[in-house]
């Protein structure tokens, strides 16, 4: 799997780019770029990796990332099946870090400046803010000339004033991987996203990276601040959260099995550790009253 520190997605003649994405699956390459990015999933499911965070995504997932933050939206395996008719659909806006210029230092732009600082940690929006920003993103994509830039500024103000959000990292995320190192992480993330439902031996990943299991474990912890075992458990728990919120009648035991846990007791213990509640309690949050 190739890695690319992407060239600017914005032509030199433009300040920003807003576009609609309709593809078989989202880009499966772990990458970073020097622009801010606002991305919304309109259709599609899978797992997103932003910095060293792991989270399932589905319709309505909306994130705002600062420059240099590596990311990957890994669509579920069914989207890669040539026989599947599933398609992904998203909206994305890229803009340069300096597009506002010296105006960012003016008093009127203080809230937007604060927003840009938060974006260094990654922002995920939720609730009514998502639908409001989705409409604004659509208007920006359809607009032309100065009108599109004015709408972008209005959207940034809305984002800056929004209350329905959480930060993805506890501190500014510093992208410190070299291209060769990130290529390795890309291989690991994609492999893990495809195989987390079954047992993954360290030897499998070590072989993919031409390392010994011990070297791989040390390397992964150094680059992601977590052990590979914790990473896989988190990946499974995030997928379990998605399954528990769906109304398809799966029992908790079935969810546990589908997420790669060998025993229900282990699933319950790990779920409580990561989510601070039981699987049953989590499901009840999504029950129709």
Q: How far apart are CA 281 and CA 168, in angstroms?
A: 23
Whole-structure pTM value: 0.82
Q: Which residues in the chain come in under a pLDDT of 70?
A: 1-6, 173-181, 286-289
**Helical H runs in the chain?**
110-119, 128-142, 145-161, 179-195, 202-208, 213-224, 228-245, 252-258, 264-275, 279-284
Say what the pLDDT of residue 139 is: 96
Q: How far is CA 22 from the centre of its chain?
A: 18
| Cβ partners under 8 Å of residue 6, min gap 6 | 31, 32, 33
Determine phi and psi for 172, rounding to 5 degrees.
-55, 130
E strands within 6-159?
A: 16-23, 31-32, 36-43, 46-50, 53-57, 62-65, 71-75, 88-95, 123-125
72 DSSP β-pair partners: 49
Say what the pLDDT of residue 2 is: 38
Say what the pLDDT of residue 288 is: 47
Say what the pLDDT of residue 230 is: 94
Say what the pLDDT of residue 245 is: 86
Neighbours of 40 (CB within 10 A): 22
């Amino acid at each position: 799997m190739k890695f690319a520190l992407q060239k600017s997605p914005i032509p030199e003649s433009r300040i920003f780019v807003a576009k609609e994405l309709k593809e078989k699956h989202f880009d499966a390459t772990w990458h970073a770029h020097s622009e801010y990015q606002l991305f919304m999933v309109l259709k599609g499911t899978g797992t997103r990796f932003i910095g060293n965070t792991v989270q399932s995504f589905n319709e309505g997932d909306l994130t705002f990332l600062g420059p240099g933050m590596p990311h990957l939206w890994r669509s579920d395996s069914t989207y890669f099946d040539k026989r599947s008719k599933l398609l992904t659909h998203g909206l994305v806006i890229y803009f340069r870090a300096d597009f506002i210029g010296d105006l960012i230092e003016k008093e009127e732009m203080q809230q937007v400046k604060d927003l840009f600082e938060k974006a260094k940690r990654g922002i995920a929006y939720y609730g009514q803010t998502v639908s409001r920003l989705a409409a604004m993103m659509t208007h920006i994509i359809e607009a032309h000339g100065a009108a599109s830039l004015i709408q972008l500024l209005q959207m940034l103000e809305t984002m800056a004033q929004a209350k329905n959000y959480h930060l993805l990292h506890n501190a500014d995320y510093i992208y410190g991987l070299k291209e060769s190192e990130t290529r390795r992480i890309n291989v690991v993330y994609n492999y893990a996203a495809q195989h987390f439902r079954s047992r993954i031996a360290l030897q499998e990943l070590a072989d993919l990276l031409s390392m010994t299991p011990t070297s791989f474990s040390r390397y992964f912890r150094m680059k992601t601040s977590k052990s590979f075992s914790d990473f896989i458990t988190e990946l499974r728990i995030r997928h379990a959260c998605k399954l528990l919120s769906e109304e398809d009648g799966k029992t908790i035991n079935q969810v546990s099995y589908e997420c790669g846990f060998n025993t229900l007791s282990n699933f319950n213990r790990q779920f409580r550790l990561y989510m601070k509640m039981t699987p049953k309690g989590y499901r009840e949050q999504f029950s129709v009253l």
